[in-house]
Amino acid sequence: MWRRTLRAALRAGLSPGTTGAVAEARAARVGSSRFAGSDSGKAEGPSPGGRVSAELIEHLERLALVDFRNREGVARLQAAIEFAGQLRAVDTDGVVPMESVLEDRCLYLRADDVVEDSCVEALLQNSQWTVEEYFVAPPGNITLPKQSEQDPVTES
Amino acid sequence: MLGLSLREVSAALKQGQVSPMELCQKCLSLIKETKFLNAYITVEEERALKQAEESEKRYEKGQALGILDGIPIAVKDNFSTAGIETTCASNMLKGYIPPYNATVVQKLLDQGAVLLGKTNLDEFAMGSGSTDGIFGPVRNPWSYSKQYREKKKQSHHRADEDSDWLITGGSSGGSAAAVSAFTCFAALGSDTGGSTRNPAALCGLVGLKPTYGLISRYGLIPLVNSMDVPGILTRCVEDAAIVLGILAGHDPKDSTTAQDPVGPFTLPILRDVGKLCIGIPKEYSAPGLSSEVQAFWSKAADLFASKGAKVVEVSLPHTSYSIVCYHVLCTAEVASNMARFDGLEYGHRCNVNVSTEAMYAATRREGFNDVVRGRILSGNFFLLKENYDDYFVKAQKVRRLIANDFVKVFNSGVDVLLTPTTLSNAVPYLEFIKEDNRTRSARDDIFTQSVNMAGLPAVNVPMALSSQGLPIGLQLIGRAFSDQQLLTVAKWFEEQVQFPVIQLQELMDSCQTFSQHKKLASVSLKR
């Protein structure tokens, strides 16, 4: 089902301004926790390029720890990939990648000396939850459940 | 008084024609009156008045700290300010109070500058309109100028004040609006792909993007580390040079600042441009460039030529790929940079406590807008193991080609490149938001981002008003670390074109209708 609406959104030029797309986005949000799940089938992606599969969406969401939220989000990625694809036309044979414009200079390194007093208290003050001198995190040995199984994020 | 240049107002302070307190109060009440521009996120009234009071004492003792002592300034809300909320216009950092000052902020304060507040922007500086932040869009003061209003009446447009207002450009639109509306004398912006020059062009200001490595980024909340630079927004070139002189130089806290001695940045008066060679990159006649901007660009080239400069057409062959390359590198670095926002140590934290990862995911879901999430996800895609070489490394290679294009042109004897800054003058908000952020950025950053990829200095200089009565600016690009020479040429150009001062009487009139009920507040302020 979501594939069809995505196509519709693409046809509408990805314009979030049109009422149709907004309505779809709203509808999408309701089911967003599952739109990448197994019930949507092995999606081939929204374009002939077919890069954005359900697996890819899930993989990226787990890596980035942000979600696409709705079909427009996926369409946005598709558009970004297609845009980036133009780079293939550039002949870069033998070109060394450029990481920094200051590559021809020595990088300055500070001496490994303490120059400022302890700022533990000041830094802890910006945390929502601390105990003594520690930041408090929830249990860390649980991986994010698959979206197709359960999504505690959207239930909150 | 509020329209003076830095040198003039500094002289007025020294001679006692105005006191720092008076100046500060004037600016604060103008900020209140122009609140509807939405230029400021935070106004630090008490703190500013206290700084002004201290400055006043220094002047009384004849111990002013520097040229900026007692002069009100504003800072974009993505620079850390000790004790002052720093939000990046994002829910993610709402309520975040940095324990330290960005180096550039500290340098301004050390000069005695009075910090009025923090200015509005696109969320995490991702945008070209200053329309995509949680505090709402910034309005361009030119929307309320006499120049624009009169042209509008002539063309029989219905002056619908509440929906016809124009965008400032972005992402440093709050800083641009603040300087343009005379609420401060200079403001800091940031520039990753054009975020200082773009709003400067649309608001009729000088917007300087210095050479990468000349100014410290310490405390500037990073977007794209390899391209970010603090930017300077002022009403004239000389002012930008003064601020640059204060900010430039090596910072032990930023390993990417160059260690070579810098400056001075005082600008000599250029009487003869006969020895100058101005390059006009032919690829910048891009589709979408308005005929009006094109015409002013040619006119500017003719101006240089008529005064004896050598004007040559040059080629930057990889220009058309530049915006694509920028898009890949930007999203990749954003994906990496935004990983720091997890809810644990600072900023927003959600209520989900099932697991650390679930907490991270929910926090980020709540904290980032669609634009930021979109860039993070695209960046993660480009950085996937199977895509890394095809997209990220490929873009880094194209980046070298783009940087080399500039090197070749400058080695051929060109001193300064002359290009448009934006495709057209400012557009109405309602028109601007018809397209999504990525499409807009790809279009609006077209002339500006290649400079960031090559690390070069560039400056927007306002040239003239369009047929709509709105500012059109041109961009001058210089060799790396030749910021002073670039500004010297910019100053010459500025003097030749005599860009008109914004006439804000109408703005003030609208202020009165907008804020009649707030009069009490501003009266009590004048005390």
Rg (CA), chain A: 22
Q: What is the mean pLDDT of residues A64-82?
A: 92
pLDDT at B444 over 70: yes
Do the Cβ atoms of A143 and B435 come within 8 Å? no
Do the Cβ atoms of A156 and B399 come within 8 Å? no
User: Helices B319-337 and B394-411, interaxial angle, to 10°?
Assistant: 130
Phi/psi class of residue B222: alpha, beta or left (left: φ > 0; alpha: ψ in -120 to 50)? beta
Higher model confidence: residue A1 or residue B160? B160
Do the Cβ atoms of B318 and A65 come within 8 Å? no
Position B148: which residue type? Y
pLDDT band with cut points at 50, 70 and 90 for residue B355: very high
Report the percent of chain B where pLDDT is more than 90. Answer: 90
- The pLDDT tens digits for B218-270 are 999 999 999 999 999 999 999 999 999 999 999 999 999 999 999 899 999 99
Q: Tell me the nearest-neighbour CA distance from A12 into chain B, angstroms.
A: 12
pLDDT at B204 over 90: yes
pLDDT at A85 over 50: yes
Report the percent of chain A where pLDDT is more than 90. Answer: 41
Q: Tell me the nearest-neighbour CA distance from A63 into chain B, angstroms.
A: 7
Q: Tell me the nearest-neighbour CA distance from B374 into chain A, angstroms.
A: 7
Are B74 and B37 spatial neighbours (Cβ–Cβ below 8 Å)? no
pLDDT at B404: 98
Do the Cβ atoms of B357 and A61 come within 8 Å? no
pLDDT band with cut points at 50, 70 and 90 for residue B108: very high
Q: Tell me the nearest-neighbour CA distance from B148 into chain A, angstroms.
A: 27
Q: Which of A67, A79, A135 is opposite residue B344, by nearest beta carbon?
A: A135
Interface test with A, best of B336, B384, B398 (most A CBs within 10 A): B398
Do the Cβ atoms of B252 and A64 come within 8 Å? no
Exposed/middle/buried for residue B367 (C-beta within 10 Å: 0-12, 13-18, 19+): buried
Range from A7-21, A142-156, B95-109, B266-280 carrying the lowest mean pLDDT: A7-21
Tokens of B185: 């004398």
Residue B99's closest chain A neighbor by CA? A122
Question: What pairing do the DSSP bridges indicate for beta strands B186-191 and B72-76?
Answer: parallel
pLDDT band with cut points at 50, 70 and 90 for residue B506: low
Report the percent of chain A where pLDDT is more than 70. Answer: 61
pLDDT band with cut points at 50, 70 and 90 for residue A13: very low
Neighbours of B292 (CB within 10 A): 16
pLDDT at A6 over 90: no
pLDDT at B198 over 80: yes
Do the Cβ atoms of A76 and B226 come within 8 Å? no
Q: Which of B347, B352, B453 is opposite residue A156, by nearest beta carbon?
A: B352
- The pLDDT tens digits for A20-53 are 333 333 333 333 332 233 333 333 334 444 568 9
Q: What is the mean pLDDT of residues B98-116?
A: 98
Do the Cβ atoms of B377 and A87 come within 8 Å? no
Catalytic residue among B171, B175, B190, B466: B171
pLDDT at B520: 40
Are B129 and B440 spatial neighbours (Cβ–Cβ below 8 Å)? yes
Q: Which of A80, A102, A137 is opposite residue B438, by nearest beta carbon?
A: A80
pLDDT at B513: 58
Alpha helices per DSSP H over B156-250: 173-180, 197-202, 237-247
- The pLDDT tens digits for A97-127 are 999 999 998 877 888 888 888 889 999 999 9
- Residues of chain A contacting B335 with CB distance shorter than 8 Å: 64
Q: Which of B258, B368, B403 is opposite residue A66, by nearest beta carbon?
A: B368
Q: What sign does the dihedral A88-A91-A93-A95 (CA atoms) show?
A: negative
pLDDT at B278 over 80: yes
Q: Tell me the nearest-neighbour CA distance from B347 into chain A, angstroms.
A: 7
pLDDT at B46: 98
pLDDT at A43: 34
pLDDT at A22: 33
Whole-number mean pLDDT of chain B?
Answer: 94
- The pLDDT tens digits for B50-90 are 999 999 999 999 999 999 999 999 999 999 999 999 999 99
Q: What is the mean pLDDT of residues B260-286?
A: 94
Q: What is the mean pLDDT of residues A5-23?
A: 35
- The pLDDT tens digits for B298-318 are 999 999 999 999 999 999 999
pLDDT at B409 over 70: yes
Query: Cα–Cα distance between B128 and B118 in angstroms, integer?
Result: 19
pLDDT at B524: 38
pLDDT at B512: 59
Residue B76 falls in the annotated catalytic set: yes
Q: Which of B98, B350, B403 is opposite residue A101, by nearest beta carbon?
A: B403
pLDDT at A33: 33
pLDDT at B519 over 70: no
- The pLDDT tens digits for B121-165 are 999 999 999 999 999 999 999 999 999 999 988 876 665 556 789
The domain limits of chain A are 2-89
Residue B195 falls in the annotated catalytic set: yes
pLDDT at A15: 35
Do the Cβ atoms of A138 and B257 come within 8 Å? no
Largest CA distance in chain A: 61
**Class of domain B18-317+401-526 (CATH, top level):** alpha beta
pLDDT at B114 over 50: yes
Higher model confidence: residue B73 or residue A142? B73
Q: What is the mean pLDDT of residues B508-514?
A: 61
What are φ and ψ of residue B39, in 5° steps? -75, -35
Catalytic residue among B19, B80, B180, B195: B195
pLDDT band with cut points at 50, 70 and 90 for residue A149: low
- Residues of chain A contacting B370 with CB distance shorter than 8 Å: 69, 72-73, 76
Chains A and B form CB pairs within 8 A to the count of 209
Q: Closest Cα partner for B478 from B489, B470, B467? A: B489
pLDDT at B165: 95
The domain limits of chain B are 18-317+401-526
Residue A62's closest chain B neighbor by CA? B361
pLDDT at B158: 60
- The pLDDT tens digits for B458-469 are 999 999 999 999
pLDDT at A106: 84
Q: Which of B252, B347, B362 is opposite residue A110, by nearest beta carbon?
A: B252
Q: Tell me the nearest-neighbour CA distance from A32 into chain B, angstroms.
A: 12
